[in-house]
A and B are shown apart, each in its own frame.
Chain A
Amino acid sequence: MAALRVLVGVKRVIDYAVKVRVAGGGVQTQGVKHSLNPFCEIALEEGVRLRERGAASDVIAVSVGTRVCQETLRTALAVGADRGVLLEVGEGAAVGPREAAAALAGLVGRLQPHLVLLGKQAIDDDCNQTGQLLAAMLDWPQGTFASRVELEEGAVRVEREVDGGLETLRLRLPAVLTADLRLNEPRYATLPNIMKAKKKPLEIIPASALGVPLPLPRLRVLKLEEPPARGGGQRVQGVPELLERLRSDGRV
């Protein structure tokens, strides 16, 4: 089987362990720790494993965003991607799933990968749309929520996590896959690997130069607010009082 070229989309998001704060109508991002989206890490790990098994010839990490995303791409290179591509958009430009998918579609046209791996969703906006939109734009088969990926001759067998069980699909390549949590256990980007990653090639292409015009944003964020603070607990004297309280709150 010919070795495949694999494109992995990675997104820079606020770190999963950081408590997200809303201020001034938006999420506070200044001075907040950012990292690689965990689902993208899983997709990336899958790509790197394909290459280590010899099924993939090279793994290209791509991110859509401003220059700060280079840091995320470096992490991706440290984990094992061979080269990185940043599709640069202007500061303050809203990049939603549709914009990201359009930019990725443009890059796919240029690099001609056989397989595109993405995380199923980002942990910041939780859209879960980019993979689906990209597959639609390219008119490629899609395997979303993949929990197992096996390559076959000219195709890929994907086990998907669906409601109430697993679904197995066979997709002809090229295809778009999005990774679910249980696909694999991503490795840690160690310090020596991060140092080595600094020497790997990282290309910056303006997203507008790909020949695919970025679509005008169709989504508008109306309101953003923090979840309501949790109310304190109450002590009751005994079961009758508990029942009475529950009844007055309409719980039973």
Chain B
Amino acid sequence: MANSLRGEVLNLYKNLLYLGREYPKGADYFRSRLKAAFLKNKDVKDPEKIKQLIARGEFVIKELEALYFLRKYRALKQRYYSDDNQ
């Protein structure tokens, strides 16, 4: 089996779990969703398919980082640059 991919999958899970701590809806909400998403694919055996799924997880990481950045940027803009959009 694709044992070499096992570590990658675990790392992906860890990284996502770490990012989830800041999730706007709460870390618990994120974690349960994350776990469900991983469990759904637990029977996937094909290495190609696993690689695709990992790539998808990495895409989600990028999206989350972008989400957090935008959230912070908007909050700061609203607090300190309120007259900009008038």
Interface residues of A (CB under 8 A from B): 16-17, 38, 123, 181, 185-188, 190-192
Contact = CB atoms under 8 A, between A and B. Distances in A.
Q: From DSSP, what is the main secondary structure of chain A's interface residues?
A: loop
A191 B69 contact: no
B76 to A, nearest CB: 6
A187 B73 CA distance: 12
Contact of A17 (B11, B14, B75, B77): B75
A181 B80 contact: yes
Nearest to B79: A123
Given A181-B80, A181-B81, A186 B75 contact: no
Nearest to A41: B72
Contacts of B80: 181
B77 A188 contact: no
What are the 10 tightest A-B residue pairs by CB atom distance, in nearest-first order?
A: A191-B18, A188-B65, A191-B15, A16-B75, A38-B76, A181-B76, A38-B72, A16-B72, A185-B69, A191-B14
Contact of B15 (A123, A186, A190): A190
A181 B73 contact: yes
Contacts of A16: 72, 75-76
7 contacts: A17-B75, A123-B79, A181-B76, A181-B80, A185-B73, A186-B69, A191-B19
A192 B15 CA distance: 8
Interface hub of A38, A186, A188 (most chain B Cβ within 10 A): A188
A123 B71 CA distance: 15
